Amino acid sequence: MRSTNADTPASILRIILTPECNLQCIYCHNEGFKRKGNRFPDFSLPEFKQIITTLQKNGVNSVCLTGGDPLVSGVFPDVLKTVTDVFGGNQTHVSTNGILLDSHLDLMHNLGVSRINISCDAIDRNLYKQITGKNCFETVIKNIEKATRYSFFINVNCVTLKGLNTDRDYICAMLDFWRKMGVRLSFLRLCFSHNGMDDYKYDMNDLIEIFNSMGLESYTTPHSNRPPTVCYPYHDMEVALRYYVPDRSNYPCTACEKREVCSEGLYHPRLGLNGIVRACILREDLSLDLGPNASATDNLAEFLKIFDSIPETWIPADCCSP
């Protein structure tokens, strides 16, 4: 059995609660899961609790509920209660687009959820609708304002999309907008090129140049369970850049036929809709069935060892990176 004190990429579990979402973002990769098909849960909550308890005993020490959008699922409250019972609220995060956030804030607060990640790539309704396909900007902003009244750590994720939200003036406006909201802002690069989004791929070095021209000084936060984060203090707000990719010179994915469309590599295990845990967002063959009728539990420790070979070296992505 793996040590539960290990702080490795396998120590963070992403639970894909549902592939469904109430937005249609132009860049969505849906965590590698199809929108149609089986929905969670295909087994009872006690069986689900047994699965995540097994993962906890094999080194997983924190969880992020994601999707799709997890708040779309009707079983979100029960699943959240089950997850916090196993891992504790302080080690439970929720990633959402924020549309349904207001109706779950009290529950998340009462269960001690520590962090909410909210995706929002624009600060005006027109661009928001262009990116997401829906006219929900005001609802999201209102719900983020409500969330800031609680004790959550709130991180807003903004995917940089060349030609849409990367103009210098717009970047500066975003900094001021989110600073006033009292959140942390993270800029993410578009990681996958298999969905015809190459024209929107933005060189994060251009964003760094903008920050440098503003006189902002960066610092790098290393992590043992994910790539390092470049951070900039903007007045009293921390701004994070997530654009590091694995150094593939000795990476176990070197021979993978899908490496040309993926810069993420083996990042965190993902628990799918049927008790299937996956090691890779793009490859279904790197998976293990932990469902109630499966007999693979004894193989879990060996399966999770795949994350032990992830290198400690990461390099900044450039404009040619997938």
What was the pLDDT predicted at 311? 60
Polymer length of the chain: 322
Domain presence at residue 1 = no
Using alpha carbons only, what angle is made at residue 237 by residues 234 and 239, rounded to the nearest 5 degrees?
70
How many beta carbons lie within 10 A of that of residue 107, not counting itself? 14
Residues of the chain with pLDDT under 70: 1-9, 29-42, 192-195, 248-252, 273, 293-297, 309-312, 322
What was the pLDDT predicted at 261? 72
pLDDT in tens, 209-246: 999 999 999 999 988 777 889 999 999 999 999 888 77
Backbone angles phi, psi at 287, to 5 degrees: -145, 165
Closest CA to 148 of 101, 195, 107: 101
Domain presence at residue 176 = yes
CATH classification of the domain holding 107: 3.20.20.70
Give residue 195's Cα distance to chain centre.
Answer: 18
Domain presence at residue 321 = no
Asked whether 100 and 67 are in contact (CB, 8 A), the reply is no
What lies within 8 Å, CB to CB, of 249 at 6+ separation is none
pLDDT in tens, 27-40: 886 655 554 444 55
Predicted structure pTM score: 0.91
What was the pLDDT predicted at 37? 45
The CA radius of gyration of the chain, in Å to the nearest whole number, is 19
How far apart CA 287 and CA 38 sit, in angstroms, is 17
pLDDT in tens, 97-120: 999 999 999 999 999 999 999 999
Domain presence at residue 87 = yes
Domain presence at residue 97 = yes
Domain presence at residue 322 = no
How far apart CA 142 and CA 15 sit, in angstroms, is 26
Domain presence at residue 2 = no
What was the pLDDT predicted at 36? 45
Closest CA to 179 of 236, 131, 230: 236
How many domains would you assign to the chain?
1
How far apart CA 24 and CA 128 sit, in angstroms, is 11
pLDDT in tens, 155-164: 999 999 999 9
Residue with tokens 């920050």: 211
Domain presence at residue 4 = no
Decide the pairing of beta strands 244-246 and 314-316. Answer: antiparallel
What was the pLDDT predicted at 203? 92
Which residue range forms the structural domain that includes residue 166?
A: 9-316
